[in-house]
Structure 1
Amino acid sequence: MEVKMLERLMESFCTVDDFCNAFLPQWKADLIGNGTAPRAPELGLCVSEIITILLMRHGSQFKYLKSFCNEVIGEVLCRYFPAMPCYERFVALQQSVWIPPLHFLCSRLEHRISIYYIYSTALAVCHHRRIGLHQTFAGLAARGKTSMGWCFGCKLHLMFNHLNETVALKLTPDNVYISNFL
């Protein structure tokens, strides 16, 4: 494996881990709850490992997360991520920890330069049969059409410059078109 890729992995992980060590205790203290922690299975990977894997996939040539997890993480980097679950479990893990990566991206926003790319992804909040009962994202979630079909939820718009640095991000209802982000 290339030394450059390992150096990038270590640098990314250290940056993300430092952020998580500072952010997570404050975030957990600010959460509103009834005082008891819900019973759930262990994550297997820590939040900083999940964010690092997502950042590495973004910087790679892989188009799909599944092929990246199976080929790079599963075969090449398996000794650096010994607790890496299967792809399906990793997708569930990444969906359960989406607040810390969002704050990490906001903390790393770069100055606007010249050429920009916008990436939008739909974040489904509930199954389409439960739209009438859904109340958590009542003011933000909406029905919208994606390339994969209809979805009820939000859209995360990310703007990158020509150096692949995140310049801006915005969370909108799912029916907002990408040109309205500008």
Structure 2
Amino acid sequence: MNTITIFCASDNFYRGFEPRWEQHLSKSWLKRHQWREALCLSEVMTIMVGFHLSGYRTFEHDYLNDVLRYQRGYFPGLVSYHRLVELLPGSLVPLCCFLTAALGNVVASA
């Protein structure tokens, strides 16, 4: 899978997921900070999925040696590695839901 394919899938998923996620957060004790970053949540999810498909052993090496160098055109608002690591916890639940939905489609079609 290439970066564009992963992004389109994660972005399409998140557009449907976001309203339900926001509604859940508003009813729970969890308070999510407003996502006002240069990278949208779909881009963060794309970078994470790309790392797992990349073959790099560590996320840091993948981000510094591949994403920042060669994929800047796909992600014009890239942030530093340390800032991205700070953003990752806020993307965990949406990423897990996306992967569950995506893998569910793969398992169902197999």
Gaps of 5+ in 2: none
- Aligned-partner Cα distance in 2 for 1:40–1:90: 15
With a CA cutoff of 8 Å and minimum separation of 6, indicate the structure with the bigger relative contact order.
2
The 1:111/1:88 distance shift into structure 2, 3 A limit, reads: same
1:98 matched residue in structure 2: 92
Equivalent residue runs for 1:1-182 within 5 Å: 8-31=2-25, 32=27, 42-109=36-103, 110-111=106-107
Instruction: Evaluate the alpha carbon distance shift between residue 19 and residue 89 of structure 1 in structure 2; reply closer, same or farther with a 3 A threshold.
Output: same
Q: CA RMSD in A?
A: 2.3
Per the alignment, do residues 21 and 60 of structure 1 end up closer, same or farther by CA in structure 2, a change over 3 Å counting? Answer: same
Deviation at 1:30, TM superposition (A): 2.1
CA deviation vs aligned residue, 1:94-126 (integer Å, no higher than 9, x gap) = 1122110011111122339xxxxxxxxxxxxxx
Distance change >3 Å, CA 77–CA 27, structure 1 → 2 = same
- Hey, what does 1:176 align to over in structure 2? none
Q: Counterpart of 1:27 in structure 2: which amino acid?
A: W
Counterpart Cα distance in 2 of 1:73 and 1:92: 17
Long gaps (5+) in structure 1: 1-6, 113-182
Residues 39 and 60 of structure 1: is their aligned pair in 2 closer, same or farther, counting only changes over 3 Å?
Answer: closer
Rg (Cα) greater in structure: 1
Secondary structure in 1 matching 2:107? coil
Share of identical aligned residues, percent? 26
Equivalent residue pairs, number: 104
